[in-house]
A and B are shown apart, each in its own frame.
Chain A
Amino acid sequence: MQGAAGATRAEAETEAAGAPASQPATAPGATPQAVGRDRRAKTIEAREVNLYYGDFHAVQDVSVTIEPNKVTALIGSSGCGKTTFLRSLNRMHELTPGARVEGRITLDGEDIYGKGVDPVQVRRLVGMVFQAPNPFPTMSVYENAAAGLSLNGSRVKKAEKDEIVERSLRGAHLWNEVKDRLDKPGSGLSGGQQQRLCIARAIAVEPEVLLMDEPCSALDPVATLAIEDLIGELKSSYTIAIVTHNMQQAARASDVTAFFNLEQTGKPGRLVEIGPTETIFTSPTEKATEDYVSGRFG
């Protein structure tokens, strides 16, 4: 299943020619017989997805595969639907009143918008980190990291919770900085630390996929680099999709890049081209892509 998914390409306008598809690495330690939940990173596949806000057609006919153990960057100028599309992948788009999704989005083959599918369950499997760090102000650092558990009412013993919190904070490269101040408020950290706390919070519940909506746009370059390094490490365990305005970041941190564009304001955003990052940035096929990545617009 993973092999087939890795080889599938999006039905974009044209594909980057000649670039080999890299095989996704098997997540370390995952075997079908593993005790507990199988934590193989999963594939998200979107087919002919159209997104609406009421009558406004925001995103048109997007078909793309987000491959496991890779970082897929969604780039494009403002307002072209990248964030809207990202939010449809974990069923957050429908939280806006009047918002509508058409098309098929599957997680490891299962339609996430299927009949009888609980959006809450989808969101537990597909985590999200937002643009501005948003730790819960009433909770301490420890409680924030464990929020995924306590908010879902799972009864976990203190020892196990401690272990999960430490694991997530280590995974987010935050443990050493906060281990002595776990019970201080989460909002007392710096911007970069807060964002890493939000990442820790997201990975504590062990999702399959991690969606990141411009996670570094509110941070300084040092914090940004820390987060990018973190993303590079996380991809060995998760499927990651990241929306970014920053082309250099896409070039640095991603394996696959998808370029979204608007023909005109008022028209829906569309997926113009998708391919390995290196190809998109050095020899893209579409003119619009080339114009964008060389800075002629956007």
Chain B
Amino acid sequence: MEAHAGTQSLFAAPAGGSLWRRKLTNRVMTGLIVLAFVIALIPLFSLLYQVVKRGLPGISWEFFTTSSRGVIGGGGAAHAIVGTLVITAVTAAISVPIGILAAIYLNEYGGGRLRRALTFFVDVMTGIPSIVAGLFAYALFALFLGPGIRLGLMGAVALSVLMIPIVIRSSEEVLKIVPNHLREASYALGTPKWRTIVKVVLPTAFAGLLTGVMISVARIVGETAPLLVTTGIVDSINANPFEGRMQNLAVYAYSEYRTPGVMKQASYDRAWAAALTLIAIVMILNLVARLVYRRYRTEIR
């Protein structure tokens, strides 16, 4: 089909070059956005690079297996690793049931004012500074057990204050996604509400709930300030949260850096190695969360 001389195509851009201008704007904006993205990533990569570079010298078999007990200038972080794992486990044991049950209430039952008040308070809790959470836990236990008390359990309580609102938030979002027609199908079979929640809603939301829990664990695993005031600094392995001070990786990194032993460089190395181990733990948790999500994800039509 030939256009006659003087006939314009239907789709020609209007005169004035606005098409060209649009394309240029497009390219400039794309460039700016990519640049912003790269700039945002620089600190992340720089951080990772530094931690790996400085932490690797501290990583050794000794690092993972010995504690600092009775050692001058040497030792490892076994007690810190054990402590982090124990405290995180206890925190999760406290926060996950409370958080998920609260999310179930807010999404499945709650109505009116109580629900609005709860949502408001959960929002406030997400903003609590971690040192405040730590001081709260300390004050609470000091009230009953006297001042100067240090317990692994206190640290877990402090971290729970930080973890619960995140669990509630993410669980609520996940429960909202479960389509209502599944609940209706269950009700129509003559199933009471609580059973519907336990046997239909929760299993359907399971993968999402688990991911939410993993994310909230990753958030609290590196908190230092609240643990400094609640679990203290100690040199030996303590796996009992109900008794005595407990070391953990975050506080360990801090104390090795702040009060290095006789061989300063070795202490600094261990501090960096502890940081590297923390990052590694968070990464592993995230990966596990992704794998579990993929395995258990239910396709909801």
Contact = CB atoms under 8 A, between A and B. Distances in A.
A130 B184 contact: yes
Interface in A126-174: 127-128, 130, 132, 134-138, 147-148, 150-153
Contacts of B187: 92, 95, 123
Contact of A205 (B189, B192, B204, B298): B189
B174 to A, nearest CB: 14
Interface string A86-109: 000010100101000000000000
Interface string A60-100: 00000000000000000000000000000010100101000
A272 interface: no
A121 B188 contact: no
Nearest to B203: A138
B21 interface: no
Interface string B19-58: 0000000000000000000000000000000000000000
B191 A90 contact: no
Contacts of A137: 182, 204, 298-301
Which one of A128, A151, A152 has the greatest number of beta carbons of chain B within 10 Å? A151
Given A137-B298, A138-B298, A121 B185 contact: no
A125 B188 CA distance: 10
Given A120-B192, A121-B190, A198 B204 contact: no
A92 B204 contact: no
B102 to A, nearest CB: 21
A187 interface: yes
B199 interface: yes
A57 interface: no
A253 interface: no
A151 B191 contact: yes
A137 B186 CA distance: 12
A124 interface: yes
B206 to A, nearest CB: 8
B196 to A, nearest CB: 7
A202 interface: yes
B204 A147 contact: no
Interface string B180-214: 01101111111110011001100110100000000
A127 B188 contact: yes
Contacts of B298: 137-138
Contacts of B199: 150-151
A201 interface: yes
B194 to A, nearest CB: 11
Given A151-B195, A151-B196, A151-B200, A92 B188 contact: yes
A198 B206 CA distance: 23
Contacts of A152: 189-191, 195
Given A130-B181, A198-B185, A205 B190 contact: yes
Contacts of B206: 138
A90 B204 contact: no
A95 B192 CA distance: 12
A90 B188 contact: yes
A148 B189 contact: yes
Contacts of A97: 111
Given A134-B182, A151-B186, A187 B195 contact: no
A130 B186 CA distance: 11
A187 B189 CA distance: 18
A91 to B, nearest CB: 9
B181 to A, nearest CB: 5
Interface string A111-122: 000000000111
Contacts of B190: 120-125, 148, 152, 205
Nearest to A131: B181
Interface string B282-301: 00000000000000001111
B199 to A, nearest CB: 5
Most buried by A among B111, B186, B190, B191: B190
A7 B188 CA distance: 29
A138 B187 CA distance: 17
Contacts of A127: 188-189
A72 B79 CA distance: 73
Contacts of B203: 138
Contacts of A95: 184, 187
Contacts of B299: 137, 187
B301 A136 contact: no
A15 B192 CA distance: 40
A75 B144 CA distance: 70
A147 B204 CA distance: 14
Interface string A185-226: 001000000000010011001000000000000000000000
A134 B181 contact: yes
B184 A92 contact: yes
A194 to B, nearest CB: 9
15 contacts: A120-B190, A122-B190, A123-B187, A125-B190, A130-B185, A137-B182, A137-B204, A137-B301, A138-B200, A148-B190, A151-B195, A151-B199, A152-B191, A187-B301, A202-B189
Given A95-B184, A152-B195, 6 more contacts: A92-B188, A121-B190, A136-B186, A137-B301, A138-B200, A198-B185
Interface of B: 111, 181-182, 184-192, 195-196, 199-200, 203-204, 206, 298-301
